[in-house]
Structure 1
Amino acid sequence: MGRLLVLLFVYLGAYLVLRRLWPAVTRGWRHGVLLGLMGFAFAAWTVPAVTGYGLHHTPPFLVPVKLFAVVWSITALLVMLMGLPFLVLKLRAERRQRAAPPGVDLERRNLLVKAGQAMPVFAMGASAVGVVGGSLGFTVREVEVKLRGLPSALDGFRIGQITDIHVGPFISPEYLRGAVEVMNTAGVDLQVMTGDLIDDVNQLDETMAALASTTARHGMLAILGNHEHWRGLDEVLGGYAQLAQRGAPVRLLVDEAHVLEHGGQRLRVVGVDFPMSGRSRTVRDQRWQHSAETAFKEGHPDDVVLCLSHHPDFFPYAAERGASLTLAGHTHGGQVAFLGVPLFGFAFKHMLGRYRFRDSHLYVSGGTGHWLPFRIGIPPEVTLLTLRSA
């Protein structure tokens, strides 16, 4: 219900901005059309929230309705946020006009204000472009990571990473199966899934079957993200347990390590849980400290250590415990970037791509899926990483 109230606030804010900047839209038949479309979009969010129908799994005939609701909602948010500065300028211009001596024309000063009338068109276009970009499917990203002291047996070792799938309203198990098939075709040695697998546990069986389709030599190792905790942790844990019982090559790591041998060399893969700590950073850091102490407590000094963490800010804990490479997700890269720079890069210390601390490396994926189909400049990705000796 809280999300619906926020959405209603955004719609109302956009309406009020439009009413002042583009008065013609709020008069006559245009006003009726505007209110009708706004009501239709709001109903597209409200009906599933109230009835549960289509809340997570979206029937095919409802997909266009949800996509329209997404485009409309993002447009309303952009109109509200981008329109406020223009609205302030307009009010100031009107005040100056009233205070100006008779015969003084302030038309030139109003040009910027008039430019604000084009802003709703820009907002609608940006929203549509972002939704198309978020709905086109994933790209395959090749990344080479040079590690100091990497044993020759692991030089050329390939890892396929998927993360932030969010099987649910807009992402199907078939989409996930396609991502796994890309890694299968690439012939990676190990596949990893770094959290936020699913939002709709009603699709859990098909989702787990998609993971189990891995043919990697060392199978697939998975960890939990925050959405597994939110959407149904017991069901997700049960799904992984059933895969283990059936002998599927998929293993879940929760503050634990798994050792595999490749060419006679041990590779220790450490997987940590997500620190569900509310808004307290202190509690979050305490839980990360506990995860680090638990997951890294065993191991051989000659092991090469790979860490899987849904949240990328676990990187310092992994680095100080000898992890050569940490793979993470969670941020989706902000889902919006211009000229390769994430628009919301301020939100996370490690937002997207490659980072390094001394001899330890971090790669943050932009995510393989999304919880909202809106991306500009940061496409969903399946990452193929190749380890090389520095």
Structure 2
Amino acid sequence: MGRLFFIALVNVGSYLVLRRLWPSLREGWRRQVFLGLAVLSVLAFALPIALGFGEHGVLPVVGLPLKLFSSGWIVAVGLVMLLGWPLALVRGRAARAREGLVPTLQVGTEGPTLVAAAPPVEVDMERRNLLTGMGRALPLLAAGTSSAGMVAGSSGFEVREIEVRLRGLPRALDGFRIGQITDVHVGTFIDTEYVRATVEVMNKAQVDLQVMTGDLIDDLTQLDATMAALEACRAPHGMLAVLGNHEHWRGLRAIREAYAASARRGSPVRLLVDESHVIEHAGQRVRVVGVDYPMGRTRSMRVKAERMRQSAEVAFRGTSAEEVVLCLTHHPDFFPFALERGARLTLSGHTHGGQVAILGMPLFRFAFDYMLGRYRRGDGQLYVSGGTGHWLPFRIGVPAEVSIFTLRADT
């Protein structure tokens, strides 16, 4: 229900902004069209719930196109609301000034009082026309941006080859290859065939180890088929996975049982929850540590650091100097804890890279300490993937990715 409330809120906010910037929207056919499309954007997600298809379900035939339309519409009206309110404030102040309604402070014998200012003698028509033109252009800009982002967000994933040079890496591990998927979000817009395609890409790349760093699935009705797709892994050391926040939110017990059932079948897929798994490659031991998502179902940032510290104490137990330690974590903020315990390479996801970047710089880089790409500190490195899927098919400058890492010794 939170999603429906958000959709309704963004529609209302955008409408209020457009009423100020585009006064003709207040009545006539423009108003009817806007309200009709706004209602349709809500119904696209409300009807599947009401008809028993579930939050992530789609109606037959028309369901997916409706949800795609709704997603694009919400992005567009969200942009209108975010970018338009400063213009609306300026336009409103200018209108009040023309009407003599901007108050001024006047000091008299009885103290200061607020009085209405006299109407200005002249109106800056050039400035007024500029504000009007910008207000009318904003919906077109928002619609164009939304369309471009939806096309990019629905265009699948790219394969990103990354060479990681680690000081003192044993010769046996020079050339060791790891394939990473993360934040797939199987659900409304991502199906199990998409997952199977990502696994097949890693198979063809002949990686030695495949990893999945959380937020695998949102729609539990697709859980069995999703696990079957992961089990197509043919890497010599299999696939190691960790949990993300969406596993905790969508159905942790069912997801953990699905991983356990997969392991009982002898599949190559193994889930790590505050534990480690040792593999031997060309005579060299590699310990892969996997930690749980720190906030669980609480969604409280206050417990994050303490939960990460607890996970680190448990998960890194038993590590030795003879091993090369790798760390898998959904949340990239675990990086300092992994470094303290000797992890040479930490792989994470969670942020999606903000899904929007301008000239390679994430637009929302302020939201996380580690937002996208590679980070180095001492002898350790962190890679934050932009995500393999999405929960909203909108990306600009941050394509979905399957990451292929090749370890190299840096002498």
Question: TM-score scaled to structure 1, two decimals?
Answer: 0.96
With 367-376 and 123-132 compared, the bigger mean Cα shift is at: 123-132
Q: 1:76, CA displacement in angstroms?
A: 1.4
Which residue of the other structure, out of 221, 224, 234, is the alignment partner of 2:240?
221
Give the structure 2 partner of residue 370 of structure 1. 390
Q: 1:57, CA displacement in angstroms?
A: 3.6
Give the structure 2 partner of residue 311 of structure 1. 331
> Deviations for 1:151-179, whole angstroms, at most 9, x for unmatched residues?
00000100000000000111000000000
CA distance in 2 between counterparts of 1:109 and 1:300 reads 69
CA distance in 1 between counterparts of 2:300 and 2:97 reads 48
CA distance in 2 between counterparts of 1:249 and 1:230 reads 26
Aligned-CA RMSD value:
1.4
Q: Which amino acid aligns with 1:33?
A: V
Work out whether 1:131 is the aligned partner of 2:150: yes
Q: 1:49, CA displacement in angstroms?
A: 3.5
Give the structure 1 partner of residue 88 of structure 2. 87
- 1:1-390 to 2 correspondences below 5 Å: 1-53=1-53, 55-58=55-58, 59=60, 61-99=62-100, 100-102=119-121, 104-114=122-132, 115-276=134-295, 278-390=298-410
> Deviations for 1:353-374, whole angstroms, at most 9, x for unmatched residues?
0001100100000000001111
Q: Which amino acid aligns with 2:126?
A: R
Task: Check 1:261–1:95 CA distance in 2 against 1; reply closer, same or farther (3 A cut).
Answer: same
Q: 1:56, CA displacement in angstroms?
A: 1.5
Q: 1:101, CA displacement in angstroms?
A: 4.8
> Deviations for 1:261-307, whole angstroms, at most 9, x for unmatched residues?
11100010000011125354442211111111111011232100000
Q: Which amino acid aligns with 2:67?
A: K
Q: 1:69, CA displacement in angstroms?
A: 0.5
CA distance in 1 between counterparts of 2:90 and 2:305 reads 44
- 1:305–1:322: 8 Å Cα contact kept in structure 2? yes
- 1:145–1:387: 8 Å Cα contact kept in structure 2? yes
- 2:241–2:272: 8 Å Cα contact kept in structure 1? yes
Task: Check 1:24–1:281 CA distance in 2 against 1; reply closer, same or farther (3 A cut).
Answer: closer
Q: 1:28, CA displacement in angstroms?
A: 1.7
CA distance in 1 between counterparts of 2:80 and 2:268 reads 48
CA distance in 2 between counterparts of 1:85 and 1:112 reads 14
- 2:159–2:402: 8 Å Cα contact kept in structure 1? yes
Report % sequence identity: 60
- 1:54–1:169: 8 Å Cα contact kept in structure 2? no
CA distance in 2 between counterparts of 1:314 and 1:49 reads 36
Q: Which amino acid aligns with 1:167?
A: V
- 1:164–1:196: 8 Å Cα contact kept in structure 2? yes
Q: Which amino acid aligns with 1:112?
A: L
Q: Which amino acid aligns with 1:374?
A: F
With 281-290 and 369-378 compared, the bigger mean Cα shift is at: 281-290
- 1:26–1:34: 8 Å Cα contact kept in structure 2? no
- 2:375–2:382: 8 Å Cα contact kept in structure 1? yes
Q: 1:243, CA displacement in angstroms?
A: 1.0
With 273-282 and 363-372 compared, the bigger mean Cα shift is at: 273-282
Task: Check 1:207–1:276 CA distance in 2 against 1; reply closer, same or farther (3 A cut).
Answer: same
CA distance in 2 between counterparts of 1:105 and 1:243 reads 73
Q: 1:89, CA displacement in angstroms?
A: 1.3
Question: TM-score scaled to structure 2, two decimals?
Answer: 0.92
With 104-113 and 132-141 compared, the bigger mean Cα shift is at: 104-113
> Deviations for 1:68-102, whole angstroms, at most 9, x for unmatched residues?
01111111111111111111111122233334555
Structure 1 runs not aligned, ≥5 long: none
SS in 2 for 1:34: helix
SS in 2 for 1:330: coil
Q: 1:54, CA displacement in angstroms?
A: 5.3
CA distance in 2 between counterparts of 1:131 and 1:327 reads 27
Name the structure where helix makes up a greater proportion of residues. Answer: 1
SS in 2 for 1:143: strand
SS in 1 for 2:240: strand
Q: Which amino acid aligns with 1:40?
A: L
> Deviations for 1:313-357, whole angstroms, at most 9, x for unmatched residues?
000000010000000000000011100000100000000000011
Q: Which amino acid aligns with 1:246?
A: R
Q: 1:30, CA displacement in angstroms?
A: 2.3
> Deviations for 1:182-225, whole angstroms, at most 9, x for unmatched residues?
00001011000000010011101100000000111111111111
CA distance in 2 between counterparts of 1:255 and 1:11 reads 42
